[in-house]
Amino acid sequence: MCRLALKTAIEPFSPYEVLQAMEAMQEGYDGSGLGLLLRGMEFEDFKYNPRFPILSGIANTDKAWRRLDDFMEDLGYELKYDHRFRVDKSYVEDRDRFRYFVRAYRMPDRFADATTEEREQELLATRLALRKNGEENGRDLSVFSFWPDVAMIKEVGWPLQIGNLLGLHDGQIKSRVCMAQGRQNTNYGINLYACHPFFVQGISTMTNGENTAFVPIRDWLLGRDFPGYMGYQSDSEVFTHILHYAIKQLKLPLQAYKHIITPLSTKELDNHPQGDFLKGLKSVCRRLIIDGPNAVIGTLPDETCMLVMDQKKLRPATVGGREGAWAIASEMCGVDAMIPDRDPSFDFQPMREHTIIIPPERKELTIWSQYDQFPLSQAA
């Protein structure tokens, strides 16, 4: 079974804390991979401007590394910061990784007056082009994200082992949000792109469990003709893309996500204040209904964090914390490890109808129920 942990705090913290929580939840975890997403970045040796997009990934060879450099330069990106992990090779068994990179760039001048949408499109296109570049060159280059204020690390192995490998305990790199997932999807061959969390245009999710409705959902997303809806090395990648689709394409509030992936039954909607609208939404988004068993944990560009369950709540997940710091984990002991100084009696395990939202202020969490009023003016 996969283990999930997310911590969000006003004060930036080291991702190592989250890895330790993963360790606490290690039972049942097979150690085949780790994915980390950091958001709200702080570097010890660089005053980071959160407008600079950060490119994260791995270059396996010197050649790939140079190709990456040239590629970015040709596009007109100016390298502002190149984070150096203090790699301790004693933690990896014979792996040919030339460089784990987290590099901040300034966008090319031609984007000075571009709209947000244009800039976002450009970042996505660049990431995908680099990914393709790596795939065309014997997979010597992997790129996980290219977005302001976000860094991602993915590697095969045990969470702590990877943390030690990259020296993540040294406080060089910190963030306000960190999410981690252990074990990549075992349904498909081992591939770093199959490691959760998944990322597209600032939106990221990770999941435990299996997505049985994967193929019809994937087929439908592919039909959207949106360049970022690709990959699908893991059946969980569609959860990220659905969230992206709901928020970025349909421009719906976060609450719509739950109504899309696990809509209420027609009978329940008959008694819902916006039943008619939601019934319509359910039918137009029918191909995006998931079947679980899953807990989906995600973060949005504004540092909002969220957690939802499948319709039958067939997977565990707990959220707990205190003002300023919150944690979501697939196991209670994970929450304990991340925020020991909280009142555990306020921990909450969402039910099938809940969306847990931790807003960027991180004062308190919102437990939003699908039965509640849907926050959309046009639905009224």
The residue from 5, 162, 356, 379 that contacts other proteins (CB under 8 A) is: 379
Cβ 352 to other proteins shortest distance, Å: 10
210 near other proteins (CB under 8 A): yes
Cβ 159 to other proteins shortest distance, Å: 21
Adjacent-strand bridge partners of 8: 177, 326
Contacts of 347 (CB under 8 A, 6+ apart): 318, 319, 320, 332, 335
Cα 67 to the center of its chain, rounded Å: 27
For other proteins, the closer CB: 2 or 107: 2
252 near other proteins (CB under 8 A): yes
DSSP label of 199? E
Distance CA 122, CA 116 (A): 10
Cβ 287 to other proteins shortest distance, Å: 5
Q: Are strands 78-83 and 150-155 parallel, antiparallel or unpaired?
A: unpaired
Distance CA 70, CA 160 (A): 33
CA distances from 117 to 105, 123, 248, 295 (A): 18, 10, 10, 30
Cβ 311 to other proteins shortest distance, Å: 5
Cβ 192 to other proteins shortest distance, Å: 20
Residue 333, Ramachandran bin (φ over 0: left; ψ between -120 and 50: alpha; else beta):
alpha
- What are the start-end ranges of the H helices in the chain? 15-24, 62-75, 116-136, 159-165, 214-222, 237-244, 255-261, 266-270, 275-284, 332-338
Q: 19-78: which residues touch other proteins (CB under 8 A)?
A: none
Cβ 279 to other proteins shortest distance, Å: 9
- What are the start-end ranges of the H helices in 245-339? 255-261, 266-270, 275-284, 332-338
Contact region with other proteins (CB under 8 A), list: 48-56, 113-121, 125-133, 213-221: 213-221
Distance CA 273, CA 284 (A): 19
The residue from 90, 115, 116, 265 that contacts other proteins (CB under 8 A) is: 265
293 near other proteins (CB under 8 A): yes
Q: DSSP string covering 39-107, please?
A: EEEEETTB---TTSEEEEEEE-SHHHHHHHHHHHHHHT-EEEEEE-----GGGSSS---SEEEEEEEEP
Number of residues that this document lists for the chain: 380
214 near other proteins (CB under 8 A): yes
353 near other proteins (CB under 8 A): no
187 near other proteins (CB under 8 A): yes
For other proteins, the closer CB: 148 or 263: 263
Cβ 235 to other proteins shortest distance, Å: 10
For other proteins, the closer CB: 16 or 229: 229
For other proteins, the closer CB: 91 or 277: 277
Cβ 239 to other proteins shortest distance, Å: 14
Cβ 354 to other proteins shortest distance, Å: 17
For other proteins, the closer CB: 105 or 229: 229
The residue from 178, 290, 338, 365 that contacts other proteins (CB under 8 A) is: 290
Cβ 16 to other proteins shortest distance, Å: 30
Distance CA 332, CA 301 (A): 26
**Binding map of other proteins across residues 231-250, x = CB under 8 A, - = no contact:** --------------x---xx
SS3 at position 322: strand
286 near other proteins (CB under 8 A): yes
Distance CA 101, CA 221 (A): 30
Contacts to other proteins by CB under 8 A: 186-187, 209-210, 212-216, 219-220, 222-225, 245, 249-250, 252, 262, 265-266, 277, 280-281, 283-287, 289-293, 311-312, 314, 378-379
